Amino acid sequence: MKTNKRFAVLKAGTANPGARERLGDCGEMFISLLSEPGETWDIYDVEHGVFPADVSGYDGFLISGSRYSVYEDRPWIKKLLELVREIHRREIRLVGVCFGHQAVALALGGEVGLNPKGWDIGLKELTLTDAAKGLRSFKDVPNPTRILVSHMDVVTRMPDHALRLAYSERTEFEMFTLGRSVLSLQGHPEYDGEVIGEIIDLLSGLSILPSDRAAEGRASLNGHPHNVFFRDLLTGFLQGSDV
C-alpha cells in the first residue's frame, strides 16, 4: 500500500562499529525495519543537538536507544523531553524504544531509574498483560513473545493513565500505550542477535557487565526474536491503527 506519510527517527545514540557496518546506524536500522513504499523518513541526530524545527509536518516519530540515561543533566536530553511533550500535546504518533521508551515515560509524568535487578541483556521472554491480550494488535502474538534487550535503566512508574502491555522477569514495564498516540517498548526490534552479542563483548571487555549476566545473555541468543511481530505492531501503529 502506497502512502505519502512522513515520519522521523529521533536518533539518541550511535550503534557499535560492527552493527553500523552490517545494518547501518540506529536511524537506518529503524527505517529498514519500518518503512513502507511511498513514505518519507528523516533522521534527526538529537544526541548531537539536531532537532526538527517543526513537528507539525510529521505523521509519527520514533525515539531510538542510547548509551545515556534519560535522567542525566544534559541539554539535549532536556530538549528531547520537551519535544516528547510537544509531540504528545499535538497527538502525533510516537514510538519509544529502550532509551526512547524511558524518555517517553519520564517526559509524560512517569519515573525512570536503575534496575534493582541489575543488567538485562540478551533474548528475553515477555509476558503479556490481560489488557494486551484483549487488544486487536495482539490477537496473533507469538507465545511466548521474545525480544532482544540491552539495558540497565528501567521505567519504574508509568505515566498516569498508561496501559501496561507486557512485563518480564527483570523488567516490570516492558511495554505500554498511552491514549491513541503513544506506544513504547523497552526491547530492540531493530536488532539481531549479532548486535547484542557485540554489545555483550564490549561491556564485558570494559568490566561493566557482570560475568554471570554476560554468560546468560550469550546463551539466550540461541533462540530467535519475534521481530516480524514487532515490526507489524509498530508499522500498523504509525500508520494510524489502534493498538
CATH 3.40.50.880 is the classification of domain 6-238: yes
**What is d(CA 217, CA 197) in angstroms, rounded to the nearest whole number?**
8
What is the percentage of the chain residues whose pLDDT exceeds 70? 99
All structural domains of the chain with their residue ranges: 6-238
Residues making up the chain, counted from first to last: 243
> Residue 231 contacts by C-beta under 8 Å, 6 or more apart in sequence?
33, 34, 189
Q: Structure pTM?
A: 0.96
Q: Which residue has the cell 537506518?
A: 28
Confidence of residue 143 (pLDDT cuts 50, 70, 90): confident
Instruction: Assess whether the previous peptide bond of 116 is cis (omega < 30° from 0).
Output: no
The pLDDT of 96-114, averaged and rounded, is 98
The pLDDT of 101-121, averaged and rounded, is 98
Confidence of residue 3 (pLDDT cuts 50, 70, 90): low
Instruction: State the number of CA atoms in the 13 A half-sphere of 127 facing the CB.
Output: 9
Q: Which amino acid is at 195?
A: V
Q: Confirm if 151 and 98 have CB atoms less than 8 A apart.
A: yes
Instruction: State the number of CA atoms in the 13 A half-sphere of 32 facing the CB.
Output: 14
**What is d(CA 77, CA 98) in angstroms, rounded to the nearest whole number?**
14
**What is d(CA 62, CA 30) in angstroms, rounded to the nearest whole number?**
9
Active site residues: 98, 188, 190
